[in-house]
Structure 1
Amino acid sequence: MTVDNEEQTPELSGPESGDDVEVVADDVEAPGGTKASRLDEEGDVAADYLEELLDIADIDGDIDIEVRNGRTYISIVSEDRSDSGLSSLVGRDGEVLEALQELTRLSVLTATDSRSRLVLDVDGYRNQRGGELARIAQDAVDKVKETGDDVALPPMSAYERKIVHDVVADLGLVSESEGEGQARHIVVSPSDD
């Protein structure tokens, strides 16, 4: 286990399988330490849950925990890039990853009686997808600027829509989520300027 933290971090207890857990906290200052300790506990509970899942599924992976901007980020990574075991935790279009994130949040809720906003990533999928979403947003902005018409994007998860909204806003246009459930999507429009 590796712990990177300027302050003292309680040692995590993990399974005997030898999986590594790394904790990185860059934003642990909170009034009375309450928020920081809650986020640390959230990360510990999530890591324990995910380690058990990896053991049951017989998938090799290391779990990294990072607390930043008031949110816990959990990453499952593998040193062996040729091992496709982790890809089964992502699934098609990240569907399995989204479900696993929700199950992990439920595990944290059950253990702590507090809702979690943790973000789970597997093998860098979210970073890769973030780049794809930025390109999709850029293409939509270019098309709106060229035609002056609204552009509807395909349905996305809430996390993905947030990324696209941020990119569109940074590029000076307006975006809005429309639809419900699985059909919820973004429409990019010219700015009102």
Structure 2
Amino acid sequence: MAWPAASCQDPLFLRQILAAMGRPEVVEEVALFDRDQCLVQLVLDRRGLRGSLPPEIGQFRRLRALSLSYNQLSGPIPAELGQLRELEQLFLDYNQFSGPIPPELGQLGKLRGLFLDHNQLSGSIPPELGRLSRLENLCLQDNQLSGSIPSQLGQLSSLKGLFFGSQPAFWAHSAPTGATAQPGKSVPVGQSPQRTHTPRASPA
């Protein structure tokens, strides 16, 4: 499919992305735009989405909340999500995403919530996530992650909830050196996150 250039004035661009995921008809129900008609929020929880997440989603540069929970999306998480520099909440949990966690997510300097749990993600946790200085909640449990937990996560001074296993872990403001990310393992790190699947971003 040939994608048009992204434009705040072009809702057809969003409709084409939704068509690639099987739901072109729900734009009015799930999208929130600002006064310039730029997309600032997209909530598609429990919409029966299938297939891969198009990398063109990274062109919505004013997007502040993206929630795709409880669908059947598969394939890799696009590295292009790292271009969404205004993003504050990212919910990709309860899907079938596979492959590694993109290190480009470490470029999301305004991100406060990252929910990647209940997928089929593999490989190690990228140390680049330690750059997310505003991150409050990080949920990675119920994947196929392996390797050591990066010491860089100890730089996440705003972190309140960190999930690696099936139970919430408790934050002590420093990542446990030498700990290993394994299925079902909880790591001592903070209080459980205030979690929601319907983030609301007010139009600017």
Same fold (TM over 0.5): no
Which structure dedicates a bigger proportion of its chain to helix? 1
Q: Which has the larger radius of gyration?
A: 1
> What TM-score results when the alignment is normalised by the length of structure 2?
0.28
